[in-house]
Structure 1
Amino acid sequence: MSGERVRRLVHSAEVAAPAEAVYALLANAVRGPLYSPEVLHVERMDADGDRERLRVWEDSGGGVRCSLWARVAHPGARRIEFWRLRGEAPFTSMAGQWTVEERSGGRSVVSVLHEFTVAGDPDGAEAVRAALAVKDSARGALRGVRRIARGSGGSRQRVLTFQESLRVEGPGEVVYDFLYRAADWAGRVPQVRHVEVSEVSPGIQAVNYRLRLPDRTERATSSLRLCFPHAGRIVYKQTTPWAPVAAHTGEWSVLPDEHGVRVIAEHTVLLDEDALPDGGPAMPGRENTRSSGADAQPSRGSTEAWSQGNAGRSEDGAAHVLAGAGESRGRQRPDPVPQSGRGQERSAGQGPAPGSGGGVREAIGQASRTILEQAGRHAESAVRALPRR
């Protein structure tokens, strides 16, 4: 950063959770999209000990920006350094660090430092806008960390992670094509009442739709989707989630095997307990409610204020949520799970009431199960239509 004026901004917030628990949130970058509004998706590129490189997709207001980051964790000091690997206008450089300090009463203070340089006049309008963008990003991330860490005990659970899965005896390309063409879901998927899809740029879709919930109400929402056809993946983030959902990220995966494909819908949902009936709890018990014991881990990563990380709750609950959540290195696929019926798998449920955490899980799960079934029928129909030899 020599030869240019370095701007330095520090933002802090008191958090109702122990320092070790908050640091664990920050040290696991996979869940940045849950609490940072502009972060859409993160992927871990590689790692060496406490060092890692990340690819981060962000909503840049009318477009999607992909950038490369590196960071180094210092667990003993509860500090995480981060820096952008390539300058992106208007920034010519960006670096900083997260720190967490212990306070009395099971509380802590989390701080984020940004040091950056901007092309052109260091006091010009562009530099002022850049500083405001950094400030907004840092404050938004701190609000997210406080919201996730806030809580009143180990019985309260904010983050739901679950999946639906289907075996399809058909070509993966046809299955993926159905998932990609979300504009065709209305009329074929009963829960999806209306869909509008636009291409933000090649492989990036903005989707606006209305979803019919199990209680027969309808909710309008929108998502940004990142499509990776060669990998058989579509990842997305809801950009206008509906209460009590504070954030919702997910992924569609098409995995080939010997006789067809396995299609997986993965979901990670952050619940706003203040929006739940009587304040919660959202869902008792373990954080992960997965299908038949499958262990689906999302990719790791983050943003400008990306090194924030995971999701948790205060006191013992914060540490409980973090236990075993996404600490594995790199991207992992779920292990095979037993099949039943036509191949559909689903997590066990207990008829939750609409508006509860369980109701959210059932509404999302029901819609994704139906989409999986329609994708399977679409592929199997394509196979039957092939000329016989």
Structure 2
Amino acid sequence: MPADPDQVYALLADAGQWPQIFTPTVHAEVTEVPDADQQLIHLWALANGEVRDWTSRRTLDPAARRITFRQVVSSPPVASMGGEWLIEAAPDGGSSVTLLHDFAAVDDDQEAAEWIEQAVERNSTAELEALSRAVTAGPDGEPLRFAFSDSVDAEGPAEAVFEFLARAELWPERLPHVGRLDLTEQGDVQRMEMATLAPDGSEHTTVSLRVLRPEQHTLVYKQTVLPGALASHTGRWTVEPHGAGVRITSWHGVTLDVDGVARLLGADTALADARARVRHNLGANSTATLRLAKEFAEQHAERQGAAWTR
């Protein structure tokens, strides 16, 4: 990979960046840090087209540039799984990255073992390719990844805001920039196909996987079918106490697709201009959603009187 080994290790060590970098990863939460070199991580990821979640324990060794992992709560048909990342300096410069796995299927079922092997092979190949892209800069060394957020404050309960954000099947009625939305749910995971009207008048269809965390008043998502100028797009909605009410924030993580930018915006389009346009379009729609979520929560508070503050 065309990057310094320490840079590659730092990306792998920061699990919060995985959904932005790795195609299969939908969401990653560090749930516990028992020691300086130990982490417990709850992961949601695609495996053979299905969203599975599990908890892994990671051991970080920055001096050796080695990260070992072992699932402590697996998702059937996986009975156990572990492995390691090893990053070494390549002889010709850059980095050499090795990803190893070991696993067992529930009841040693052969068909399940084959399913797991296919999922591991597919995801590992995708992750290594994505990692290489993530450490590769754009033309003239310009960054392809960037992040931003927008917030509004609301005098209403967090539960009402979260309901507005989670009930996406009602968005075509509630949000003027949503033309069509198909939603399916399984547990805390939603799949959402949405036709969106951008501020510049263009319309595009995206598919997102969303993980609902109602106990945290947080909803995270990852687009799996993206607008043409983006290589990846992740985000989250958070609702936090603020003053007498709440602060609602929309966060975005974006990676530009250089070829897509040239194809859609023109070969002479500077990456800085592409970033500004993407930021404007995504931010405008998010801000519209934030304002309507605020209005929904405040109307709810008016109906409930002052009871929601007690």
Q: Same fold (TM over 0.5)?
A: yes
SS at match of 2:89: strand
Change (3 A) 1:224 1:148: same
Candidates 280, 283, 294, aligned match of 1:362: 280
1:34-61 CA-to-partner distances (Å, cap 9, x unmatched) read 2322211011011111111101112345
**1:137 paired to 2:126:** no
**In 2, Cα distance between the equivalents of 1:81 and 1:272?**
31
* 1:309-362 deviation digits (Å, cap 9, x = unpaired): xxxxxxxxxxxxxxxxxxxxxxxxxxxxxxxxxxxxxxxxxxx5xxx2221111
TM-score scaled by length of structure 1: 0.72
Read off the aligned partner of 2:121 and give its amino acid letter. K
What does 1:180-195 correspond to in 2, within 5 Å? 180-195=166-181
Aligned length: 302
Higher RCO, 1 vs 2 (CA within 8 Å, ≥6 residues apart): 1
What is residue 72 of structure 2 aligned with on the other side?
85
Unaligned runs of 5+ in 1: 1-14, 284-351
Decide which moves more: 205-214 or 366-375: 205-214
Deviation at 1:68, TM superposition (A): 0.7
Summarize the alignment of residues 64-83 of structure 1 with structure 2, pairs less than 5 Å apart. 64-83=51-70
Give the one of 91, 94, 98 matched to 2:81: 94
Q: Does the 8 A contact of 1:93 with 1:118 survive in 2?
A: yes
What residue identity is the alignment partner of 1:375? A
Aligned equivalent of 1:240 = 225
Match of 2:142 in 1: 156
* 1:91–1:375 CA distance, 2 compared to 1 (3 A): closer
> Which residue matches 1:312?
none
The one-character-per-residue Cα deviations of 1:142-162 (angstroms, maximum 9, x if unpaired) are 000111112357741121111
Judge conservation of contact 2:145–2:254 (CA < 8 Å) in 1.
yes
Identical residues among aligned pairs (%): 31
State whether structure 2 residue 271 is matched by structure 1 residue 282.
yes
Per-residue deviation, 1:219 = 0.6
Q: TM-score, normalised by structure 2?
A: 0.89
* Structure 1 residue identity aligned to 2:219: I
Partner of 2:298: 380
Q: Which consecutive unaligned segments of at least 5 residues does structure 2 have?
A: none
Task: State whether residues 156 and 280 of structure 1, in contact with CA within 8 Å, keep that contact through their aligned partners in structure 2.
Answer: no
Q: What is the alpha-carbon distance in structure 2 between the residues aligned to residue 154 and residue 140 of structure 1?
A: 26
How well do the aligned residues superpose, as a CA RMSD in angstroms?
2.4
Paired residues for 1:307-318 under 5 Å: none
16-25 vs 268-277, which moves further: 268-277
- Cα distance change, pair 269–73 in 1 and its aligned pair in 2 (3 A): same
Provide the residue aligned with 1:38 in structure 2: 24
- Look up the equivalent residue of 1:229 and give its one-letter code: P
Task: For 1:386 and 1:51, locate their aligned partners in 2 and report how far apart those are by CA, in whole Å.
Answer: 46
CA–CA distance in structure 1, aligned partners of residues 39 and 301 of structure 2: 43
- What's the offset of the Cα at 1:171? 2.3
| Residue pair 1:59, 1:65 contacting (<8 A) in 2 also | yes
**What does 1:1-389 align with in structure 2 at a 5 Å threshold?**
15-47=1-33, 48-60=35-47, 63-119=50-106, 124-151=110-137, 155-201=141-187, 203-277=188-262, 278=267, 282-283=271-272, 352=273, 356-386=274-304
Q: Distance in 1 between matches of 2:91 and 2:268?
A: 26
- Taking a change above 3 Å as real, the CA distance of residues 231 and 152 of structure 1, as seen in their structure-2 partners, is closer
Q: What secondary structure is seen at the aligned counterpart in 2 of 1:85?
A: strand
